């Protein structure tokens, strides 16, 4: 039975490697979520005191907080690249801040607030020209954007299976093979050890060195089913469907007084994300009222991106996330429900 578990996990690892375009399955480790993967790279990649870490101004706390922690405990410094007025990545500003002092570029590939996707290949080429490594937080991108880590030439990548139609409790961490032995795990223990005495130990090579402790085997098997489904469906089809829905919703929302989009105005630049505020209504009020009166489930608040909202003096936003299981009829229902809500107690308040 234990051999069967190992073989099935290896099978899923192969699927995950193909899904992200890795050269070898050993470059993909199973962790409990993208947060663990991001922490592992930021805190374990050997950044030295005085080195710079470059991020964007719309990072999830899974990047933001480990970087802050690294500045406090490791003596690294941080530069944040602000967005353009339209809410897109400022590539010219990025070029200005890059130097040989940068050790790591850590950025979300697609923002979970605005839906904007950064020009990853350009960023990676610039970073590598200065000798810096690049970590991409692909948690929001992986569900609908085709990934090819070799074509991108990225060094590290993190994703969470629960955003990809799979179960919670499973993350994917890609580490380029020549970097794996230089990356220190955040956890140590059983399954990850080659040999040990009471004074020393030797870790197994990747991916086992990053998989200490009992693995979430059932979650990994579920991840395999999700990867099969998405691969068969085709991520180009998923992204095309998201855009159809977002265009439809953006058009309908433009006719609702007091509704403003958070992020780029072009729906094609936001994938399946429609984040917004409505004058006279708090984001939480919008979400609670639509939930209780219309059975509509959206999210509200700062979406684990506190720094983004605090820098803009915003208390958060409401966010609609559209995916393959959503329909045009649901988009129309939401738009009409929001219009009714705003008409009753929104912008007139």
Q: How far is 346 from 297, CA to CA, in rounded Å?
A: 19
Closest by CA to 112, choosing from 267, 271, 6, 226, is 271
In angstroms, what is the C-alpha Rg of the chain?
21
What tokens does 317 get? Answer: 């936003």
Residue 304 annotated to the active site: yes
Q: How far is 19 from 99, CA to CA, in rounded Å?
A: 33
Give residue for tokens 């060094």: 155
**Residues forming a β-bridge with 269:** none
Those residues with Cβ within 8 angstroms of residue 263's Cβ, 6 or more apart along the chain or in another chain: 87, 111, 113, 114, 115, 116, 269, 270, 273, 275
What tokens does 205 get? Answer: 């090579």
Q: Which backbone phi and psi does 278 adopt, to 5 degrees?
A: -130, 125
Q: How far is 318 from 303, CA to CA, in rounded Å?
A: 9
Out of 9, 304, 305, 317, the active site residue is: 304
Q: How far is 163 from 171, CA to CA, in rounded Å?
A: 10
What tokens does 2 get? Answer: 């234990």
Residue 49 and residue 70 in contact, taking contact as beta carbons nearer than 8 Å: no
Closest by CA to 322, choosing from 245, 236, 253, 250, is 245
Cα dihedral: 340, 345, 348, 349 (round 10): -160
In the chain, helix, strand, coil percent, each to 5? 45, 20, 35
Give residue for tokens 């990047």: 63
Q: What is the DSSP string of 143-204?
A: TTS---HHHHT-SEEEEEGGGGTS-SS-EEEEE-GGGGGGSPPS---TTSEEEE-SS-EEEP
Q: Please give the positions annotated as active site.
A: 304
């Amino acid at each position: 039975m234990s051999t069967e578990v190992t073989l099935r996990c290896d099978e899923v690892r192969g699927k995950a490697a193909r899904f992200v375009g890795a050269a070898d399955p050993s470059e993909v480790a199973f962790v409990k979520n993208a947060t663990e993967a991001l922490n592992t790279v930021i805190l374990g990649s050997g950044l030295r005191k005085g080195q710079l870490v470059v991020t964007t101004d719309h990072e999830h706390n899974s990047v933001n907080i480990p970087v802050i922690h690294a500045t406090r405990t490791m003596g690294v410094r941080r530069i944040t690249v602000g967005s353009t007025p339209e809410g897109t990545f400022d590539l010219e500003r990025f070029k200005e801040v890059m130097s040989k002092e940068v050790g790591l570029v850590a950025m979300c590939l697609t923002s979970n607030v605005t839906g904007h996707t950064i020009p990853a290949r350009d960023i990676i080429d610039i970073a590598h020209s200065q000798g810096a490594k690049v970590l991409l937080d692909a948690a929001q991108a992986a569900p609908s954007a085709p990934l090819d880590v070799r074509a991108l030439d990225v060094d590290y990548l993190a994703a969470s299976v629960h955003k990809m139609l799979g179960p919670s409790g499973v993350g994917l961490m890609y580490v380029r093979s020549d970097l794996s032995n230089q990356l220190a795990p955040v956890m140590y223990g059983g399954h990850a050890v080659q040999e040990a005495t009471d004074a020393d130990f030797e870790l197994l090579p990747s991916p086992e060195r990053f998989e200490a402790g009992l693995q979430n085997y059932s979650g990994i098997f579920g991840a395999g089913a999700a990867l099969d489904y998405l691969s068969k469906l085709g991520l180009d089809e998923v992204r095309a469907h998201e855009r159809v829905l977002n265009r439809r919703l953006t058009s309908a929302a433009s006719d609702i007084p007091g509704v403003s989009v958070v992020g780029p105005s072009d729906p094609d630049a936001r994938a399946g994300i429609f984040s917004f505020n409505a004058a006279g209504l708090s984001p939480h009020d919008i979400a609670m009222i639509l939930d209780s009166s219309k059975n509509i489930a959206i999210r509200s608040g700062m979406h684990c991106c506190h720094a983004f909202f605090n820098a803009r003096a915003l208390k958060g936003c409401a966010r609609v996330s559209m995916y393959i299981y959503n329909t045009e009829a649901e988009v129309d229902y939401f738009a009409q429900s929001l219009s009714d809500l705003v008409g009753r107690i929104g912008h007139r308040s």
